[in-house]
Structure 1
Amino acid sequence: MNILLKSAKIVCPGNKELHLKKRDILIKKGIIEKIGASVEAPANIKVVEKENLHVSLGWFDSSVSFGEPGFEERETIANGLFTAGKSGFTDIVLNPNTHPVPDTSSDVVFLKERGQGKATKVHPIGTLTTNSDGEALAELFDMKNAGAVAFYDFKKQVSNPNLLKIALLYAQNFDGLVYSFPQDGDIKGKGVAHEGEISTKLGLKGIPALAEELQIARDLFVLEYTGGKLHIPTISSAGSVKLIAEAKKKGLDVTCSVAVHNLFFSDENLIGFDTHFKVSPPLRTNTDCKALIKGVKNGTIDFVTSDHIPMDIEHKRVEFDNAKSGSLGLESTFGSLNTIFELDETIDILTKGRERYQIEIPKLAEGSKACLTLFNPDGEYTFDRKDILSTSKNSMFLGATLKGKVYGIINNDQSTL
């Protein structure tokens, strides 16, 4: 793949020589051959010139679900990776949200093979326990050797604290990353929305922030006892930010993420009972949103994720209580982050995180593999159904005003331009 990018403004806060400079970038056979103020186009090369073209290192998403195997009607791996690439992501961490779940090394190999040869690289997570049933640890070591980047029973609490203790101790033998979903199922009960004024007015069963914070407090105590590497995915409350900040001050090896929709929306969006806004953890208050945004800015929250979960219409076009949780996020992540944060902050958020998963960190330099995202950061637009590339259409961002458009990616000697 040979491409010449013309007059691209480089957004790379960590590279003072190139940051915010307009440059031509020549790419041959997937390698950045030349970066210069003016590069002449060689014969038989694709020249890319776009309105207000900006380029950064390729973007990374730490929480993406598709459907294959088992739920291909929601999303296949092939179309999911195409969607990720058109949305600007060169690397995605794939959740074990399938049927059957990936709890063996052969399952991980299958997922990696299905993603081969695509512009966006897939990095699977294996389950923490066999069948994600919370009873016995899965084949963690074998899955790590097969390419699993972490271990997680998707959106399920680790009910047994001794199981979490054993997992954290065992995973230290091979530098494994253990996930624990922050929600106490007993306190959550049959709740479907944040417990507060809005849920009371709407007559919806509430999920108090206590359900999240109590689980996090327990997990952090276990981590302090065992050591090891713990990741807490998709936190949603101000109290959770405080707990994790305190744990980091103690020196515990803990990271956490937040779903972009928990920064952009609040429980006020539930008025109208639109099931697109039913997610887990739930949308919480504006106060929580502000605390989460502050946590992202000061580094307490390590990653912002799309938490992309395709869901077929049969599970969304039902009563709010009966609808399944989940929203699309890949296509709207850049536009929503770019609305909340300054451009430098947005790109920093989108490009960091690979080191936690031991994924190769790209470089924007001559001689390096081209791992680039192309975009226009300016211009507001209303997110519409036509902007959805996923097979499923369950996006809570429909009708939202977002800022900036993604052109595509160049990665893995492929392009989605």
Structure 2
Amino acid sequence: MNVLIKYATIIDSKSDFHNQTVDILIEKGIITEIALIVKNTKDYKEISLDNLHVSQGWFDSSVSFGEPGYEERETILNGLKTAAHSGFTAVALNANSNPVIASYADISLVKAKAQNHAVSLYPIGALTKNGLGENMAELYDMSQAGAVAFYDYQKPIENPNLMKIALQYASNFDGLILSFPQESRISRSGVMNEHISSTRLGLNGNPTLAEELQIARDLFLLEYTGGKLHIPTISSGKSVELIREAKKKKLDVTCSVAIHNLFFTDEALETFNSNFKVLPPIRTNSDIKDLIEGIKDGTIDMVTSDHNPIDIEHKKVEFDHAKYGTIGLESAFGALQTLFSVKKTVEILTKGKERFGVESTSISIGEKANLSLFNPKETYTFSKKHIISTSKNAIFEGSELKGTVYGVVANNKMILK
């Protein structure tokens, strides 16, 4: 792929051209020239877009595509298309398919389906056999096939000894263990945050205590084992505090937060809109403030869309019976930009790569072109016309967002809207 990108403002603190508006020449997928003006002597395709900005390619540490087994929700191919149009050049795929991704063959299958695409797919293998939380899956075999981490998506590991053994075993090959932060015997049948709103709405509550107890347990186990732990999608201020203290102890722990948990409070459930039924549940303003502070001070290592397509038959039902989850790739950039500067937003969207073994390249001459293309200034109301996913369960539908994405250049390919 040969292309000349014109008049692009580079947002990349690792590049010598950071904050400069330049032309970028890409030949056979490699950046060969960056200058104020690059002449198109070889008549390559030119890209010239309104208020064009480019950054290192973005990474999402938690996406679900459904395939195999739930193709009506999302196929891998359409999921990767959605990611590309949303500015992501790499995604970590959860194992919550049917069957779950829990073997060497399963990892090989999903990797094969994503071959030769602009977006790189990094599979997460199930932590336990069939995702049942009882016996440890074939972690080493999956790592040999290309699994970057191990996680039973949104399923807490109830047995602490199983988590201890997993952390110890995976440390033999530098494996990353993910543990969903929820003590299920506390959360029980809660479908929203346990607070004033849950009482008023007559819905069973899921308290922050359930999250915090599980995190505290896992941090004690981590301190004992010396393993490598990632805690996905935390949602409470106390959780931030616990992880902050663990990092002061030099424990090898990272964490993420879902973008929607930075925006919406439990009061949004007044209309019983099942798009707001997510796990962990959306909490309170106080939690949001603490989560944002955790991002700013580095306690929270990455932000994820936690993209989870759910078909209409399982979402447009009575709130108690609706499945948890929202799509989020398409709205991720515009949502983050309503909270942070463009520089901070890009920093957030490019963090987490090293933790998940994703290659990171700066926008520099001689480097592979791995770029996200966007306009940070355009504002709009997010609606169904902005949705590329097969499923339409978007928590951000109707929200005012800032910043649009043009597409990506990566893996010697270009995908633009």
The answer to whether the superposition gives a TM-score over 0.5 is yes
Q: Which amino acid aligns with 2:279?
A: S
Q: Which amino acid aligns with 2:30?
A: I
Specify the alignment match of 2:312 in structure 1. Answer: 313
How high is the TM-score relative to the length of structure 2?
Answer: 0.99
Q: Which amino acid aligns with 2:58?
A: W
Q: CA deviation at 1:244?
A: 0.3
Alignment deviations for residues 129-180 of structure 1 (CA, whole Å, 9 cap, x no partner): 1101111111100100100000001100010000011011111110000011
Determine if the alignment matches structure 1 residue 245 to structure 2 residue 266. Answer: no
Specify the alignment match of 2:271 in structure 1. Answer: 272
How high is the TM-score relative to the length of structure 1?
Answer: 0.99
Structure 2 gap segments, 5+ residues each: none
Specify the alignment match of 2:184 in structure 1. Answer: 185
Q: What's the secondary structure of 1:295's corresponding residue?
A: helix
Contact 2:374–2:403 (CA under 8 A) maintained in structure 1 = yes
Specify the alignment match of 1:206 in structure 2. Answer: 205
Task: Note the aligned Cα RMSD (angstroms).
Answer: 0.7
Specify the alignment match of 2:403 in structure 1. Answer: 404
How far, CA to CA, are the matches of 2:358 and 2:90 in structure 1? 9
Q: What's the secondary structure of 2:115's corresponding residue?
A: coil
Contact 2:195–2:205 (CA under 8 A) maintained in structure 1 = yes
Q: CA deviation at 1:298?
A: 0.6
Q: What's the secondary structure of 1:60's corresponding residue?
A: strand
Q: What's the secondary structure of 1:123's corresponding residue?
A: strand
Specify the alignment match of 2:55 in structure 1. Answer: 56
Alignment deviations for residues 256-276 of structure 1 (CA, whole Å, 9 cap, x no partner): 000000001111111100000
Q: Which amino acid aligns with 2:166?
A: A
Larger deviation: 358-367 or 72-81?
Answer: 358-367
Determine if the alignment matches structure 1 residue 2 to structure 2 residue 7. Answer: no
Q: CA deviation at 1:360?
A: 1.4
How far, CA to CA, are the matches of 1:116 and 1:91 in structure 2? 12
Specify the alignment match of 2:87 in structure 1. Answer: 88
Specify the alignment match of 1:45 in structure 2. Answer: 44
Specify the alignment match of 1:107 in structure 2. Answer: 106
Q: CA deviation at 1:69?
A: 0.1
Q: What's the secondary structure of 2:18's corresponding residue?
A: coil
Q: CA deviation at 1:290?
A: 0.8
Determine what percentage of the aligned residue pairs are the same residue.
59
Q: Which amino acid aligns with 2:288?
A: C
Q: CA deviation at 1:307?
A: 0.1
Larger deviation: 105-114 or 355-364?
Answer: 355-364
Specify the alignment match of 1:117 in structure 2. Answer: 116
How far, CA to CA, are the matches of 1:294 and 1:310 in structure 2? 29
Alignment of 1:352-363 (within 5 A): 352-363=351-362
Q: Which amino acid aligns with 2:10?
A: I
Q: Which amino acid aligns with 2:155?
A: K
Q: What's the secondary structure of 1:271's corresponding residue?
A: helix
Contact 2:14–2:362 (CA under 8 A) maintained in structure 1 = no
Specify the alignment match of 1:11 in structure 2. Answer: 11
Q: What's the secondary structure of 2:116's corresponding residue?
A: coil
Q: What's the secondary structure of 1:19's corresponding residue?
A: coil
Q: What's the secondary structure of 2:319's corresponding residue?
A: coil
How far, CA to CA, are the matches of 2:243 and 2:221 in structure 1? 13
Alignment of 1:14-413 (within 5 A): 14-15=14-15, 17-413=16-412
Residue correspondences, number: 416
Q: What's the secondary structure of 2:375's corresponding residue?
A: strand
Specify the alignment match of 1:416 in structure 2. Answer: 415
Q: Which amino acid aligns with 2:12?
A: C
Structure 1 gap segments, 5+ residues each: none
Alignment deviations for residues 233-266 of structure 1 (CA, whole Å, 9 cap, x no partner): 0000001000000000001000000000000111
Q: CA deviation at 1:391?
A: 0.4
Q: CA deviation at 1:299?
A: 0.3
How far, CA to CA, are the matches of 1:42 and 1:56 in structure 2? 25
